[in-house]
């Protein structure tokens, strides 16, 4: 009885003593952050980290309100947000922690190797519906074009870089996961889809976009057109604009930039911003 009481006091004491780390923001970064938090809590058992994916804007405004410590974002700060930051004399530090590279995939049996953004735009807005319109050498077959559902971060990039804000054709089929896309394209000879580069398998063929191969090097050098950087923001003004050496935030950032942290980026299907060990 006494032992258990002691144990209880001990547990409560550690709970009170525990540091917290609140992370909020982008759903695109969420799968990476999930792996990070998991590993981070193993390394620092006295830290209680909470993670919430609610969109980049929500994360950044939470950082501004002081309701989170780290904001994940799939885009850089908007002009209005920078202004807000100055008004409140805050100092958000941006870190590029990964790249979201998107591969355009087709069935390996389709005789096409390269595609332009313009053609992709025409396919996804419905101006082109048959492969022979893409290239006269290709068969006169209906294009089965797949897209990720509108909730995904991959779709956001597509909307920005390929659709350029135009409306998706109603013929485009929405799929719920990258795996479903790979599966569908592997089975259908006349299908096309796009997916995070980390998900591409040998069952499908990744096309060159504007003549550039979808490789990690081309994304890191900025040549490949269908990619974007992913950010983590934290607020340095909370520490008098000094690097918070002994704070849990510093531990977390040190971890996510470390080789182990960057390996988890790859595991989540993204491109590590600091290169890979390969």
Partner 1 sequence: MKKIGETLFKSIVFTAAILVAAALFGIIFFLFSESLRAMKEIGWDLFSTEWFPVWEKPDFGIRTMLLNSIILTLWTSFVVFSIGIIVALYLHSYANKREKELMLRVLEYVSGIPSVVLGFFGIVIVAPILLKAGAWTGQNFFNASFMLSVLTLPFMISLSYQSLEKVPKEISEAAVSIGARDFAVMIVELRYAMPGIVNAMMSVFNRIFGETMIVLMVAGGSNLLVRSFFDPIRPLTATLGSELGEVEVKSLHYSALFFIGFLLLAISLAITLLTNYIVRWRERWIRG
Site track for partner 1 across 10-39, x = CB under 8 A: -----------------x------------
Considering only 180, 236, 250, 257, the residue that binds partner 1 (CB under 8 A) is 180
Considering only 63, 115, 172, 219, the residue that binds partner 1 (CB under 8 A) is 172
Helix (H) or strand (E) holding 148: strand 144-148
CB 102 within 8 A of CB 227: yes
Neighbours of 87 (CB within 10 A): 9
Considering only 72, 73, 74, 152, the residue that binds partner 1 (CB under 8 A) is 152
Considering only 144, 212, 236, 250, the residue that binds partner 1 (CB under 8 A) is 144
How near is the Cβ of 156 to partner 1 at its closest, in Å?
Answer: 8
Considering only 142, 237, 241, 258, the residue that binds partner 1 (CB under 8 A) is 142
Q: Which is nearer to partner 1, 188 or 247 (CB)?
A: 188
Residue 52 interacting with partner 1 (CB under 8 A): no
Q: Which is nearer to partner 1, 57 or 276 (CB)?
A: 57
Considering only 44, 93, 133, 183, the residue that binds partner 1 (CB under 8 A) is 183
How far is residue 184 CA from its own chain's centroid? 22
CB 72 within 8 A of CB 100: no
Query: What separation in angstroms does the CA of 11 have from each of 3, 5, 14, 20?
Result: 12, 10, 5, 16
3-state secondary structure (DSSP) of residue 70: strand
CB proximity list for 204: less than 8 A, separation 6 or greater: 105, 106, 107, 108, 182, 185, 186
Residues making contact with partner 1 (CB under 8 A) = 27, 53-55, 57-58, 141-142, 144, 149-152, 155-156, 159, 165, 167-168, 170-176, 180, 183-184, 187-191
């Amino acid at each position: 009885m006494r032992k258990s009481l002691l144990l209880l006091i001990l547990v409560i004491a550690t709970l009170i003593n525990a540091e917290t780390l609140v992370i909020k923001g982008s759903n695109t970064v969420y799968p990476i952050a999930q792996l990070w938090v998991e590993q981070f809590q193993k390394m620092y058992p006295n830290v209680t980290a909470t993670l919430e994916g609610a969109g980049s804007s929500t994360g950044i405004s939470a950082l501004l309100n002081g309701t989170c410590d780290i904001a994940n974002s799939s885009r850089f700060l908007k002009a209005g947000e920078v202004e807000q930051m100055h008004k409140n004399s805050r100092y958000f530090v941006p870190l590029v922690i990964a790249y979201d590279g998107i591969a355009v995939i087709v069935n390996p049996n389709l005789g096409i190797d390269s595609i332009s953004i313009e053609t992709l735009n025409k396919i996804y807005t419905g101006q082109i519906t048959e492969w022979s319109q893409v290239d006269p050498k290709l068969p006169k077959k209906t294009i089965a074009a797949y897209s990720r559902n509108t909730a995904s971060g991959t779709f956001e990039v597509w909307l920005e870089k390929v659709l350029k804000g135009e409306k998706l054709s109603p013929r485009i089929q929405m799929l719920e996961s990258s795996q479903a896309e790979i599966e569908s394209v592997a089975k259908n000879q006349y299908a096309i889809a796009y997916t995070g580069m980390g998900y591409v398998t040998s069952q499908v063929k990744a096309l060159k976009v504007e003549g550039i191969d979808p490789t990690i090097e081309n994304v890191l050098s900025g040549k490949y057109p269908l990619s974007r950087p992913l950010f983590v923001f934290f607020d340095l003004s909370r520490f008098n604009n000094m690097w918070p050496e002994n704070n849990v935030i510093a531990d977390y950032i040190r971890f996510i930039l470390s080789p182990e942290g960057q390996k988890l980026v790859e595991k989540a299907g993204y491109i590590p911003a600091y290169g890979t060990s390969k």
